[in-house]
Structure 1
Amino acid sequence: RCSCRRLRLGGPVIPSARPRQRGRLGALLPALALGVGSLLLAASPASAADAPAIPGLDPAADIVVFWGDGCPNCAKQEVWLTEVEQQHPDLRIARYEVWNDAANRELFVTAGEHRGFEAGSVPTTIIGERVWIGWTGAIEQDMSAALAMLERGEPPAPGVFGTTGAGTCSTEAMECTAAPDPITVDLPLFGEVSLGDKSLLVSTVIIGFVDGINPCSLWVLSILLAIVLRTGSRARVIAIGTTFLVVTAAMYGLYMAAFYSALTVVGYVGVIQWVVAAVAGVFGIVSAKDYFAFKRGISFTIKDSAKPGIYQRMRAAAGQRALIPALGATIVLAVGVSLLETPCTAGFPVLWTGMLHANGVGPAETAGLFVAYMVPFLVDELVVFLAAVVTMRALKMQERHGELLKLFAGVTMLVLAAVMVISPELMEDPLAALALFAGAFALAGVIHVVTTRVRARRAAPTASAPPTPPSPRAS
């Protein structure tokens, strides 16, 4: 059991293959996510200081490790643990080998029952109520951060991190899956950060792209550009369009950071995983429904009652003769529209942040992956914007386009929500992740083709029916 009273971890910084860097995004908690955060906090388990001891385990241990003799991933973790012990002699680590010791396997199962994880993969590490399954660069960094919290007298947030996929060894088949090599990039403000496993990078890029093609943001941008283009000034179009995109992207970043912070506070335990999947599933069902019944019943779109106000703010921004007041009006417009668009775009951020927590991604990797998310997220809007700048004509967003985009987004969200519940470790395999997205897109395409043909057949008899002949006159 890890207790806050055991504050004897003095000495050098806990070693890590990459220095832990604090993502500035994780420190922001805008009011936009207070409702979500409060719901999650209501489901939060007890703090580590109040965690009940696991029967049979060393009650004085700061770290409990379940490992297997011959497991290469366990051997990699052992190198790190040895360095930690050398630098912190007072740190107590309890090790339990489970491949060859039946009694330790029973303790492993007992620990899983008490901490909410399946005792099927090693290495599994426990600090208080925080559990890590596997050994990857992201887990190493997060574990280092947890030990640093102990040094400051703070209990690590409870939760289960990692899966039975990469970086683990099965306790039944004694087969191991190597952790994929992480990708590192050098980012301004953050320095060198890791993008985590290639599979997470692939999933992030695809989710960001699908999230970006939502009809709400495309409709607002196309209408704004159409109004500004009436001024005939390409420079004004560039200035106002760029300001709008930057502000809306920043607002979106605040929302995602808030949800990530909320999950960090409450810990990613089993019930939270189900909550994330359920929320994403609801958004997916409603989005897919809009393809068949657009704006009928529950619909996550911009309400028609809000559109006159948006039009008025757009005209106010475009009608300012001086550029500075026009940009100020554009900022106000972008903030307001971002709040109105929240129902349109909330599903994918919920899924993405949940996916990162399920795989034990730390703040530094999250910062890098956030950049990887926002680049494809803005691609479609940049295409619309650049087309308007070059041609001085605005692309018009039709309702049928919005319906089709809703279908693809909804099906993708439903598939990912199911994966979060059934087998989240699939997202650790790049090929499996690509196959999931390809399958979701193919399913949406099939639904669209079948629906189009059915609608055409239903409309054909009505269109081709001969006119009713006039009734003969009575002689």
Structure 2
Amino acid sequence: MDFKKLKKFLLIFLFLFILFNVSPVFSQEEETVLYFFYGKGCPHCAQEEIFLEKLIKKYPEVEIKSYEVFGNRDNAKLLLKLFEICGESGQVRVPATFIGDKVIIGYLNEEITGIRIENILKECLENGCEDSLERLEKCECKKEEAEKDQIIHFPVIGLINLSKMSLPVLTITVGALDGLNPCAMWVLLFLIVLLLNTRSRKRMLLIGGTFIVASGIVYYLLLSAWLNLFLAISYVNLTRIIIGIFALGVGIWQIRNFIKFKPGVCKVTDGKALGDKIKNGFKNRTQKLVTSPLTFGILIGIIILAFGVNLVEFFCSAGLPAIYTRILTLNNLSSLSYYLYLLLYTFIFILDDLIVFLMAFITLSKIGFTEKYNYWATLIGGLLILILGILLIFRPEFLMFG
């Protein structure tokens, strides 16, 4: 009798042991899945891939599902859908890592982002967690930006975001080159000459100031249009290659002009047919506006003139806005950051116009550019565009700063 009771007790104990210890193991193995979204050519994605290869050896019970988004439209759409559910903007940003109810966007290094990923994974293995896709379908996700970890404190200097140091430099460089293009300034210089003849600082300030501000706004809107176009198709590698080939052609064309001693000649507004008509049309319109009585309608006319001039300047800029905005979309940025960079670019673009105008306003004398300036500006611009084109085609990861 005692033996039967003991046997029954052992059977109950064995059943409870299996129920509370074996079942969780199966559930953990079934639920521990890491979803990794990456882009071909993305340097941060490549770093995380190396880390994940080490991680899978350390935790063989973890399953990693990888999705390439730059060349696969379906994977990109899936990532955008997951971002949308998580309250993220509708932009492809990689690398993106999903574990349970956690979403990590970006990757700095193994010591910072890698440790965070491993800690989340350990928590899942110890306590169990649902599949990320199932949680996301329930609108349950917690975003963790790897970007925050890239802000490092240096003695004396203070806080510096290491991953964003190069992009502002590129923005300032390209924006300055775009603004210093001789083709983009002839209308302003012509406008200044006409305003100087009036000998009225008030008229000069109102008309010239309106022209510069309107030019900045119009250029910003045109840059935004390029940005939104490339963001909509940012996961298509073909656009990057097309813009790269375009940049190569423009760079070679600029260098050819330098070699042939034809610097500063705008192919859109200088010519014998359509170019002359465009240039003469702008001159006639500008002269009419400057010499007319100063009214609200005249200021509206100046704004319309600025819009037309900036459309022409887009051709004179040799595609720099398109090249820059395509490079911008290669980087993992928030929506606000994208537009702040465009704002910085626009400010640098009109800064030279502003300086020239203020010097003329203060001294009431004409400011212009020498042939030597035009000569070297053509070479520098051509070389920079050529280099950017080569990088866009063959080494896009060098242009991914964030």
Q: Shared fold by TM > 0.5?
A: yes
* Distance change (3 Å), C-alpha of 1:230 and 1:264: same
d(CA) in 2 for partners of 1:160, 1:275 = 22
TM-score for the superposition, normalised by structure 1:
0.54
Higher helix share: 2
Name 2:35's counterpart in structure 1.
64
1:408 equivalent to 2:380? Answer yes
What is aligned with 1:353? 325
Match of 2:267 among 292, 299, 302: 299
For 1:288-367, list aligned pairs within 5 A: 288-293=255-260, 294=262, 299=267, 302=270, 303-367=275-339
1:426 aligns with 2:361: no
SS of residue matched to 1:360: coil
Q: Which residue of 1 aligns with 2:11?
A: none
Match of 1:206 in 2: 173
C-alpha distance after superposition, 1:317-362 (max 9, x if no partner): 1111224333222122212211222211252212221122111223
Q: Which residue of 2 aligns with 1:380?
A: 352
In structure 2, distance between residues paired with 1:372 and 1:111: 36
Which stretches in structure 2 are left out of the alignment for 5+ residues? 1-30, 39-43, 97-105, 112-145, 154-160
* One-letter amino acid of the counterpart of residue 36, structure 2: V
Inter-partner Cα distance in structure 1 for 2:53 and 2:331? 23
Alignment of 1:267 onto 2:222: no
Matched, 1:181 2:136: no
Matches within 5 A, 1:84-233: 97-99=52-54, 101=56, 111=66, 115=69, 129-130=75-76, 147-150=82-85, 167-168=108-109, 180-181=150-151, 197-233=164-200
1:236 aligns with 2:169: no
Counterpart Cα distance in 1 of 2:330 and 2:282: 38
Question: What letter matches 1:167 in structure 2?
Answer: L
In structure 2, relative to structure 1, the CA distance for the partners of 1:357 and 1:392 (3 Å cut) is: same
Q: Give the aligned residue type for 2:225.
A: A
Change (3 A) 1:413 1:131: farther
Q: Give the 3 Å change call, closer, same or farther, for CA 101–325 of structure 1 in structure 2.
A: closer
Name whichever of 236-245 and 373-382 sits farther off.
Answer: 373-382
Residue 168 of structure 2 aligns to which amino acid in structure 1?
A: L
Structure 1 residues 296, 230: CA separation in 2 closer, same or farther (over 3 Å shift)?
Answer: closer
Does structure 2 conserve the Cα–Cα contact (< 8 Å) formed by 1:212 and 1:378?
A: yes
Aligned counterparts of 2:246 and 2:66: Cα–Cα separation in 1: 29
Equivalent AA in structure 2 for residue 147 of structure 1: L
- 1:246 aligned residue: 213
Q: 1:256 is paired with a residue of what secondary structure?
A: helix
Q: Aligned in 2, Cα 1:310/1:355: closer, same or farther, shift over 3 Å? A: same
Q: Are the structure 2 counterparts of residues 289 and 160 from structure 1 closer, same or farther at C-alpha, using a change threshold of 3 Å?
A: farther
Q: Indicate how the Cα distance of structure 1 residues 99 and 251 shifts in structure 2: closer, same or farther if over 3 A, else same.
A: same
* Amino acid in the other structure paired with 2:310: S
Q: Which residue of 2 aligns with 1:257?
A: 224
Q: Identity of paired residues, percent?
A: 25
3-state secondary structure, aligned to 2:212: helix
User: Could you tell me whether the CA contact under 8 Å between 2:252 and 2:386 is conserved in 1?
Assistant: yes
In the other structure, the counterpart of 2:248 is: 281
- Displacement of 1:381 in angstroms is 0.9
CA contact (8 A) 2:70 2:76 kept: no
Structure 1 stretches lacking a partner, 5+ long: 1-59, 68-72, 78-95, 118-125, 133-142, 171-176, 184-193, 431-475
Q: Is the 8 A contact 1:199 1:429 kept in 2?
A: yes
Secondary structure of 1:341's partner? helix
Residue 151 of structure 2: SS of its match in structure 1? coil
- Decide whether the 8 Å contact of 2:93 with 2:333 is kept in 1: no
- Partner SS for 1:130: helix
Partners of 2:340 and 2:162 lie apart in 1 by 5
SS state at 1:65 partner = strand
**Counterparts of 2:83 and 2:55, CA distance in 1:** 33
Deviation at 1:295, TM superposition (A): 8.1
Q: Give the root-mean-square deviation of aligned CA atoms.
A: 4.5
Larger radius of gyration: 2
Q: Indicate if the aligned counterparts of 1:247 and 1:331 stay in contact, CA closer than 8 A.
A: yes
368 and 156 in structure 1: CA distance in 2 versus 1, 3 angstrom threshold: closer
**Structure 1 residues 159 and 167, CA gap change in structure 2 (3 angstroms):** closer
Question: Is the Cα–Cα contact under 8 Å of residues 419 and 426 in structure 1 kept in the other structure?
Answer: yes
Structure 1 residue 181, shift from structure 2 partner: 2.5
- Which digits, 9 at most, give the CA deviation of each residue in 1:50-80, with x for residues without a partner? xxxxxxxxxx99972279xxxxx99xx9xxx
Q: Using the alignment, how far apart are the partners of 1:412 and 1:370 within structure 2?
A: 19
Where 2:298 maps in the other structure, the secondary structure is helix
CA contact (8 A) 1:317 1:326 kept: yes
Cα gap change, 1:350 to 1:181, in 2 (>3 Å)? farther
Cα gap change, 1:231 to 1:331, in 2 (>3 Å) = same
